[in-house]
Structure 1
Amino acid sequence: MSAAPALSGPILPPAAGGAPRRLVALLHGVRARGADMIARAGALRAALPDAAIFAPDAPFPCDDAPGTREWFSLADRAPAVLLAGAQAAAGRLDAALDERLRALGLGDGALALVGFSQGAAMALHAGLRRKRPATGIVAFSGAFMGARGGEIASRPPVLLVHGEDDAVVPFAAMARSAAALRALGVPVETLARRGLGHDVDAAGLDAAARFLAAPFGAGLA
């Protein structure tokens, strides 16, 4: 049986020019593509001018939205089914990240994961299971789906950002996710955005940029 095709998607070179010293992976939500996320990368590029920005397309097509992708199906929302779907997608995502890091001559300490909605769930799911820790994870309007004992392999710092008026993934998911992550020993910060629905706003992107710039900067010392 042939191997699954590698994930591809748009990539932006460092804003400062030259060889990348960091890699930021942007993971989109359901009924979207990598181009939707990379279009919002301005604040991250400004804060991390030596970073390449990679926005892979999720591996599976959305049946109800031709031309868009999803990380896993939401047809059956039983927790065990969703976890199985995320696990299957995580293997594809890890391979794409490893391939991109190798191509750039970078290690996991130069990697950050940023996701929105289902992409946020994937960033948390995959990022915490990578054996070599990323420098940070930012999850917008998503939720941590949990982990069984021994699954968490690394504990990079996490920022959860969520709109208080989110009608898709309830705002309460941020507190539940933060508590579950802290119980696993993961350092977590949270940011509530008043008046924001299921979206990413400029203030959230600025917070993400500051959050990621701090550990990246420390790594340069």
Structure 2
Amino acid sequence: MQRNQFLDYPEIASLTPPPEKLVILLHGLGSDGNDLINLVPYIQKAMPACHFISPHGIEAYDMASFGRQWFSLQDRSASVVLKLAEKNAPLINELIKHKQKELNITNKNTILIGFSQGAMIAMYLTLTQMESYGATIAFSGRLLPPVNLINRLTPLCLIHGKEDDVVHYEETNNAAKYFTENEIKHEKLIIDNLTHSIDDKGLKFALQFLKNYKMI
């Protein structure tokens, strides 16, 4: 890994060092790690033992001259998107493993929080891990069902605005259906009058979810 490309991202240390858990914040398409790191002040008091990192997408955004992406969405057909997620997942895993090793934290004490495309890759990573994560939270995402479903043990929290005009909220209902069919623990919240964003109601639901599963 080249440090200047992958490992130079915003992070916020735990309030009670050394950290007991690692939180990975995965941003949306065309944004970067400086976006979701802004959530930390709103949730850190409820998660004092967590170290937060907000990596930049592993590729330059290919539909503008700024921003990052986890994989291209120029072609949004399901088969192409799934192949690109599958191709790039090992690089994202490598990034996560690097920080886990630094902090002496394993997957079971790692939480993924993704928004939009970040939620897509968060769910994909979760379902393809040999060792389950502690929990995964997907805001405004769409499920990319892996060819080989490996991990059914990580609980997932799905949150979506009903007025989302970027990723339709039915994508979260579809994900919940998949998780039910595959006996994967999950909780879901569809928020009225919310567009493609994260609000206080969603954050409170996510924090309660983490408490329910004893992750905070």
Place the TM-score, normalised by the shorter chain, in its bin: over 0.9
Other structure's SS at 2:6 match: coil
User: Which among 195, 198, 201 is matched to residue 197 of structure 1?
Assistant: 195
Aligned to 1:59: 58
Cα 1:113–1:84 shift into 2, 3 Å: same
Instruction: Write out per-residue CA displacement over residues 180-208 of structure 1, whole angstroms, 9 at most, x where no aligned residue.
Output: 12212211110011100011111111211
- C-alpha contact 1:20 1:52 (8 A) present in aligned 2: yes
Q: Does 2:11 match 1:11?
A: yes
Please name the residue that 2:135 is paired with. Answer: 136
Correspondence for 1:88: 87
Q: In the alignment, which residue of structure 1 is the partner of 2:123?
A: 124
User: Structure 1: which amino acid aligns with 2:112?
Assistant: L
Q: 205, 208, 211: which is aligned to 2:209?
A: 211
**One-letter code aligned to 1:118:** Q
Q: Which amino acid aligns with 2:209?
A: F
- Written as runs of structure 1 = structure 2, the 5 A alignment for 1:145-160 is 145-148=144-147, 150-160=148-158
Scaled by the length of structure 1, what TM-score is found? 0.91
Distance, in Å, in 2 between the alignment partners of 1:216 and 1:100 is 22
CA contact (8 A) 1:132 1:154 kept: no
1:43 Cα shift?
3.2
Change (3 A) 1:198 1:217: closer
CA positional deviation for 1:154: 4.1
SS at match of 1:7: helix
Letter in 2 for 1:209: L
Normalised to the residue count of structure 2, the TM-score between the two structures is: 0.93
Overall identity of the aligned pairs, in % = 28
| 2:107 and 2:134 in contact (8 A); partners too | yes
In the alignment, what sits opposite 1:68?
67
Q: Which sits farther off after the overlay, 106-115 or 59-68?
A: 59-68
Q: Which runs of 4+ in 1 moved over 4 A?
A: 3-6
1:4, distance to aligned residue in structure 2 (A): 7.0
Tell me, yes or no, if the aligned pair for 1:143 and 1:174 is still in contact at 8 Å.
yes
Q: Which 5+ residue runs of structure 1 have no aligned equivalent?
A: none
Q: 2:63 and 2:72 mapped to 1: Cα distance?
A: 11
Contact 1:164 1:194 in 2 (8 A): yes
In 2, distance between residues paired with 1:25 and 1:44? 13
